Amino acid sequence: MRYFIIVCALLGVLHSSACDVCGGVSSNSSIGLFAATRFHMLGIQGGYRSFNTYLHEIRHSREQIFSTDIRFRFQLHRRIQLSGLLPYQFAVQQTDFGSNKIYGLGDLSLMSNFIVLNNRDTSGLTRNFLSFAIGVKTASGKNTIHSNPLKNIYPGTGSWDLLLLSNYTHQFNSKWGWQSEASVSVKGKDSYGYSFGNSYQLTSQAVLNLPVSSYRLISAFGFNGEYHEAAELDAEIPIIPNLNRGYVWAARAAVNLMGTNWLLSAYLQQPFLQNFNEGLTKQGLSAGISFNYLINK
Amino acid sequence: MKRYFFVSLSILVLTLSAACHKDHEASSAEITFIEPSLNDTIANAAELHVEGTISADGEMHSYTLKISNAANDSVYFTKSSSQHAESYAFHEHWVNNLTDTTLVKVTVEVELNHEGAKTSKTVNVVCLP
């Protein structure tokens, strides 16, 4: 049981969005708090993100993105995990004159996570955990040409992207831990020569693990920072300088309830400092809820 | 029971009244065209880019953006918003598909308040065949 509690120190949320800058931003892929567990996992997550777009400092449109992701993680070896995610997205953009809705399958992502450090003390408690992951986001989702003003809210980007990620956890005692994750997404070009800019992400959070009845309640509080480079077009026609370029810092809170073979998770993320598209786009509240079925290896 | 009903009804009426924000209604508004400029020439198949802002001294009720023939008022493009706001930013495109040289007027009309007070601004452009 103790081992079970300890490995839960990291919440395993693999979240990703095919759209890199949906009226603002979305995060890189993430392995999250459950990297140190040895379950096979099969899950579903519902997500919500919101953005406001401004024109001459007046709100011109509001974008809301709802997603449902099917995800899995397969423990190939005690040091190798294979995970995947297939999103379905529904996005709505509301302007003064009405609304536009774009929906469909997003881009399939696959990732391999290699555990390079998993130190345990004599009681079996994982003290230090370090892993590196490499993955790919495919161009399988619904996408459109860059000249379409709704491109950013399409579920797919049309490009193959390389994902690189590291995940480190330190467990102070049986209750408190700290988890940090850094990732880079190297963006490819779509069939029209357009590329979203590379993106960098850093997440760091304190983790509190408590028993509740026969379950475990795992809470996490921290921050998430992202930087997106400007989009590029491999053609003679230039695009707007600094398009989709910017950063966001957000406060993040997550709560997870774990049973013997299931995990129920929810998170909220609220930006507190950001500058995208030279201030034209602002990210709002993000939230998600997920259920994972855990299969003992 | 009857007393609760009337109390609830009163609260509902008060809430709805407050929602109207009648005391914050606009009495005047400033419409600014960033594009197009007066007498701009739009080539055939080119886009007429209409962009600008509307700012008021209170909450406006709606606005309409219309592109029409200056001579006979034939409407080529129109969009209306019923969003209540103290400011709007508009940004629309219309492709010039006219077969004769035509003086076209771009009009933004704002309904300021419940009394139906309106203000508008027009910019004329020349569309080429």
Beta-carbon separation of A96 and B83 below 8 A:
yes
Mutation for testing the B interface, residue in A52, A53, A54, A56 having most B CBs under 10 Å: A56
pLDDT of residue B23: 58
Do residues A122 and A104 lie in contact, with contact meaning Cβ atoms separated by under 8 Å?
A: no
* pLDDT > 90? residue B1: no
B94 close contact with A: CB closer than 8 A: no
Nearest to B90 among A54, A96, A98 (CB): A96
Does B71 touch chain A if contact means CB atoms closer than 8 Å? no
If pLDDT is split at 50, 70 and 90, which confidence band does B128 have? very high
- Output b/e per residue, A61-85; b: 16+ Cβ within 10 A: bbbbbebebebbbebeeeeebbbeb
Contact A113, A133 (CB under 8 A): yes
pLDDT of residue A4: 37
Backbone angles phi, psi at B119, to 5 degrees: -145, 155
Largest CA distance in chain A: 65
Domain span at residue B117 reads 2-127
Q: What would the mean pLDDT of B96-102 be, rounded to a whole number? A: 94
Mean pLDDT to the nearest integer, B69-93: 93
Amino acid in position A121: D
**Per-residue confidence (pLDDT) for residue B13, from 0 to 100:** 61
In this prediction, residue B66 carries a pLDDT of 96
Task: Look at residue B24 in the predicted model and tell me its pLDDT.
Answer: 86
Each residue's pLDDT tens digit in chain A (297 positions)? 444 333 333 333 344 433 444 543 456 667 677 777 778 999 999 999 999 988 888 998 899 999 999 999 999 998 999 999 999 999 999 988 889 999 999 999 999 999 999 988 887 778 899 999 999 999 999 999 988 888 889 999 999 999 999 999 999 988 999 999 999 999 999 999 999 889 999 999 999 999 999 999 999 999 999 999 988 888 655 567 778 889 999 999 999 999 999 999 999 999 999 998 888 889 999 999 999 999 987
CA distance B39 to B127: 9
The continuous run of DSSP H or E covering B15 comes out as helix B2-20
Instruction: Report pLDDT for A12.
Output: 39
Q: Which of B53, B79, B87 sits opposite A97 (nearest CB)?
A: B79
- How far is the C-alpha of A19 from the C-alpha of B3, rounded, in Å? 55
The one-character DSSP state at A5 is H
Q: List the single residue in A56, A59, A96 with the smallest CB-CB distance to B81.
A: A96
pLDDT band at B17 (very low <50, low <70, confident <90, very high): low
Of B63, B65, B89, the CB nearest to A55: B89
Contacts of B51 in chain A (CB under 8 A): 55
Distance between CA atoms of residues A34 and A15, nearest Å: 12
Judge if the upstream peptide bond of residue B36 is cis by omega within 30 degrees of 0.
Answer: yes
pLDDT at A126: 81
Strands A199-212 and A215-228: antiparallel
Q: What is the CATH number of the domain that holds B69?
A: 2.60.40.2550
Number of domains in chain B: 1
B78 touches chain A (CB under 8 A): no
